[in-house]
Structure 1
Amino acid sequence: MEPSAELSMAPAANGRKRKCPPRPGLGDIHQDMLERVLARLPPASFFRLRAVCRGWRAAAASRTFLDACARVPRRDPWFLMLSDHRPHHPVAFDAAERSWLKNACHADAAPGPAVPVAASGGLVLYRAPATGALSVSNPLTRASGALPPAPQPSQGQQQQLHAIAMYGSPYRVALFTGELLDDLSMAVFDSSKGSWETPVALARSRPSADAPPVQDTDTVYFLSKSGDVVATNMQRSASKQYSSVVVPSNSNDTAAVAYFLSHSGTVVACDTAARTFAELPRILPVHFEYSIDVVACGAAAYAVVLSEHLDTASLRVWEFAAGAWRQVAAMPPAMSHGFCGKKADINCVGHGHRLMVCVSGSSAEVSGCFMCDVRSNRWEELPKCVDGDGEANEFLAAFSFEPRLEINV
C-alpha cells in the first residue's frame, strides 16, 4: 500500500479517519514549467489545450508558451495533401502519430484563389494562378501575408517561369525564369528585408568534369497527370507545375541548391550562391516511358522514377554523385508491380529521411501514398484516408512542413 493510502486509513485521535492531502498535479506546476511541458506535446494536441482548463487556456495564449515551443529543436513533419476533387478541404498526414488530420491545418489560409507551390520550415508558399501573386502562410495558425510583386526584367517583357524555391530561416523565395538553354535568371525575396533583390543571370555550367553534355535534340516520352503518354512538354498539376526541391549549399547558410524538372524531363540544378545552373544527364534513355519527380531528403536531392520494363513496373530512387546517377533505394517489386500497365504518375516530397510518394493513375485501385525511409530502404503503404461518407481520398501530391505555432509570417 502506498504511503498516502496508509495515511488516509490511519485513525485520528478522535476515532475519525484522516483525509489524505491531495497529491500534486499539473495545476500545481509553476507556469513556466507547465508551458515547457505543454510545448513538448504532439502538435495535434495544441488545438485541444484551451478546452482543458482556464490555466491551460491562458498558457496556450501566452508569448512565453510560444517561446517554449521555439526551444523544441525539431518536430516530425506534417504532409499537406493536395487533391483535385476537394481543394478547399485540407488534409494533413502526421508522420509522428501515423494518422490523418482533417481539421488541424488550413490550406486556404492564403488570400484569394491560390495553390501551394513550396514549403520551408513551418511555412507554406502559395501562388495565385491567374495573377502570379505570392503569399506565405502558417497552416496551423492560419496567419498569412502577401509578398510584394516580383521585379520584372529590364526589357519589360514577361519571362517564362520555370520553378519556385523556398529555403532558409528567415526564409527566402527564389524565382527561376527565362530561356533554360540561353539566359536563365534568378530573383530572390529576402523575408528579413521584406523586399526582392535585383534579378541576376545564371551562368550555365557542367554538372562535373566527367559528366557528358546533355543532348536535348531527342524526344523524351513520359506520363502525364492524366496517364497519357506525351512528349516534349512536361504536364504538371497546378501545385507541382513550378515546384522545386532545395538542399543546403556548402558555401554559406543563406544559400542553397535548387533542383527542378525541365520541360523535357531533365533535372536542372541551380546554385543560388555561385549563380550557376546545370542540366544533369538523363537517367533513362530517350523514347522510354516513365514518370519522374525530384525530391529532397535531408541534405541530398534525389530523382524518383517510375518506369515499366519486361511486363513489370519499378519505382527507384536515384542520387546524382561524381558525375553520374546511382540508385540508392527501390520499392519492393511486389509493391511496384501493381503499377504495371496502369499509366501511373508519381509526385514526391521529402522531409528529413522520409520520402512520400503519391501515386495516381487511370483507376482508383492504382492511387495511393507510400512512405520510404531512404536510409534503410524500408517502404510502406499508408492507410487510406476515408471521409465521413466512407469514400477514400485520392491525393495527387503533398508538401511537407514542420507544424510550429510560434512561426510568424
Structure 2
Amino acid sequence: MAAAVASSGGRKRKCEELSAPELGQLHEDPWFLMLSDQQEEEEPRPPCPAVAFDAAEKTWAQCRAAPGPVPVAAAGGLVLYRAPETGALTVANPLSGVSRALPPPPPAATDALYAVAMYGSPYRVVLILGELPHLSMAVFDSSKNAWEDAVPLSRKTEASPADTRAPHDDDDIDEDMDGDGDGAVYYLSKSGDVMVSSTQRSASRQYSSAVTCRSDGGEAVAYFLSHSGAVVACDLARRVFAELPRILPVHFEYSIDVVACGGRAYVVVLSEYLDTASLRLWEFSDGAWRHVAAMPPAMSHALYGKKADVNCVGHGGRVMVCVSSGDASANGCFMCDVGSNAWEELPRCAGGDGEAMDFVAAFSFEPRMEAAV
C-alpha cells in the first residue's frame, strides 16, 4: 500500500499545478471505494484506511478512515454511510476525511427502508420507504440542510412517464409484474412442485440504487431492484414508479444488479446456459431489453458453476463488476468500457498481511478534495 499512497500524493501535487478546466477533466476519472467481505459483516471495528481503485492511474490507493461500517450511496465527490443499528446517516469526503452527520429524517418517515439514492450538487439524499406497491420517499436537501416531508409514490400512469433515461411507450410497462406485493414469486417446476423465487441482496448492496440525471442535474430517476428481482424505475421529480419487464424468466437462477453511467441505466446479469456462463449488460429501450455489452466468453466461462454473485457500479462510460463466490478462484473485479465493450480484470490488491483482498462491491466517487459535505 505504500506505493499506492505515494501515487496518491503525486496526484495531489499535479492537481496544484492544473487550471480549473484541467481539474474538471481530471475529475472525469473516478475512484472506486472498495468493500471487502469483512466489511460486509458490519461488525464494530477500529477505523482503518479504506481502499480505492484509481481509474486514471489504474492503481490502488488509500482513503481516509470511514465514518461508518458500510456505505450505501455516493454522488460527486461524496459517500453516504448508514449505521445499521440506528439508521443514522453520515456524509463524508473519502479523500479529505471530512464528514458530517445528517439530521434525522422526519418523524412521518417511519416505514421500512427500501432503497437509498444520492445525486446532484448540492447533493440530495432520497430514502425510498415501504413495500411495493405502497412506497413513499423522504428527501434531504443539503442546500437547505433539512428534510422535506415524506410523500407517497404512485405507480406509473400513462400520463406520467417514470423513466426518462430509458425511453419507451407507456403501454410497454407491465405494472402488475409482481402483483400487489413485493414478496417472493411462486411458480411450478416441470415436476409440478411449487417453487419460490426471491432476490438475496448482499449487505453492502441491500439498499443500493442507481441514479440517472440530465446534464443540468434535473430529471433524476432512481433504479433499484425489488425483493423479487424486478427492476424498479422511480421518477423522483414526478413521484411515480414503474416495474420493468424481467430480462430472464422467473425460474432462472442468475445474479443481477443495476448501474448508471453516461446518463443511462443498465442491468448487469450473470447467468449460466449450455454449460457456460455469460455476463451481459442490458438497457431498456423502446419497450424491450437491448443487449449492449458482454464479457468475452473466455473470461465469463471461468465463472461457470461457481454460484458467483455480481455487485456493480458505474461512472462516466465505465462499469465495474465485483464478482464474489465461495470458490476463491472466481473472485475478482472487472472494468468494462460500455461504448467499446472492452473488458479488463483489475490487478489484485494486497492487504496488510500481504494476502490478496477479495472485494464484494464498490461505490464510485470523484476524487475531489474540495467537495463539501
1:387 Cα deviation (Å)? Answer: 2.9
In structure 1, the partner of 2:147 is 196
Relative to 1, partners in 2 of residues 1:234 and 1:334: Cα closer, same or farther, differing over 3 Å?
same
Q: Which moved more, 1:321-330 or 1:234-243?
A: 234-243
Q: How does 1:8-407 map to 2 (within 5 A)?
A: 44-45=8-9, 49=13, 72-74=23-25, 75=27, 76-85=29-38, 88-101=48-61, 103=62, 105-108=63-66, 110=67, 113-153=68-108, 158-181=110-133, 183-205=134-156, 208-213=169-174, 214-216=176-178, 219=185, 231-249=196-214, 253-407=217-371
Q: Deviations over 1:260-288 (max 9, x none)?
A: 00100000001011111000010101110
CA distance in 2, matches of 1:333, 1:219: 31
Question: Aligned residues, how many?
Answer: 337
Q: Which amino acid aligns with 1:179?
A: E
Relative to 1, partners in 2 of residues 1:367 and 1:212: Cα closer, same or farther, differing over 3 Å?
same
Please say if residues 155 and 241 of structure 2, whose CA atoms lie closer than 8 Å, have aligned partners that are also in contact.
yes
Q: Which moved more, 1:136-145 or 1:68-77?
A: 68-77
1:386 Cα deviation (Å)? Answer: 1.9
Q: Deviations over 1:95-131 (max 9, x none)?
A: 0001111x3x1251x2xx4320000000000000000
CA distance in 2, matches of 1:277, 1:245: 14
Please say if residues 186 and 199 of structure 1, whose CA atoms lie closer than 8 Å, have aligned partners that are also in contact.
yes
3-state SS, counterpart of residue 246 of structure 1: strand
Please say if residues 197 and 251 of structure 2, whose CA atoms lie closer than 8 Å, have aligned partners that are also in contact.
no
- Higher CA-based Rg: 1
Structure with more strand by fraction: 2
Relative to 1, partners in 2 of residues 1:120 and 1:353: Cα closer, same or farther, differing over 3 Å?
same
In structure 2, the partner of 1:18 is none
1:197 Cα deviation (Å)? Answer: 0.9
When the two chains are superposed, the root-mean-square deviation of aligned CA atoms in Å is 2.6
Relative to 1, partners in 2 of residues 1:216 and 1:48: Cα closer, same or farther, differing over 3 Å?
closer
Q: Which amino acid aligns with 1:245?
A: A
Please say if residues 220 and 265 of structure 1, whose CA atoms lie closer than 8 Å, have aligned partners that are also in contact.
no
Q: Which amino acid aligns with 1:185?
A: S
Taking structure 2 as the reference length, the TM-score comes to 0.84
1:231 Cα deviation (Å)? Answer: 4.9
Please say if residues 302 and 318 of structure 1, whose CA atoms lie closer than 8 Å, have aligned partners that are also in contact.
yes
1:389 Cα deviation (Å)? Answer: 3.6
CA distance in 2, matches of 1:269, 1:305: 17
Q: Which amino acid aligns with 1:131?
A: T
Relative to 1, partners in 2 of residues 1:90 and 1:268: Cα closer, same or farther, differing over 3 Å?
same
Q: Which amino acid aligns with 1:258?
A: A
Please say if residues 185 and 198 of structure 2, whose CA atoms lie closer than 8 Å, have aligned partners that are also in contact.
no
Residue identity (%) = 62
Give ranges in structure 2 of 5+ residues lacking alignment. 1-5, 41-47, 163-168, 188-194
CA distance in 1, matches of 2:152, 2:273: 41
Taking structure 1 as the reference length, the TM-score comes to 0.77
CA distance in 1, matches of 2:91, 2:7: 20
Relative to 1, partners in 2 of residues 1:300 and 1:204: Cα closer, same or farther, differing over 3 Å?
same
CA distance in 1, matches of 2:328, 2:202: 18
In structure 1, the partner of 2:165 is none
1:152 Cα deviation (Å)? Answer: 2.8
Please say if residues 70 and 406 of structure 1, whose CA atoms lie closer than 8 Å, have aligned partners that are also in contact.
no
Give ranges in structure 1 of 5+ residues lacking alignment. 1-41, 50-55, 222-229
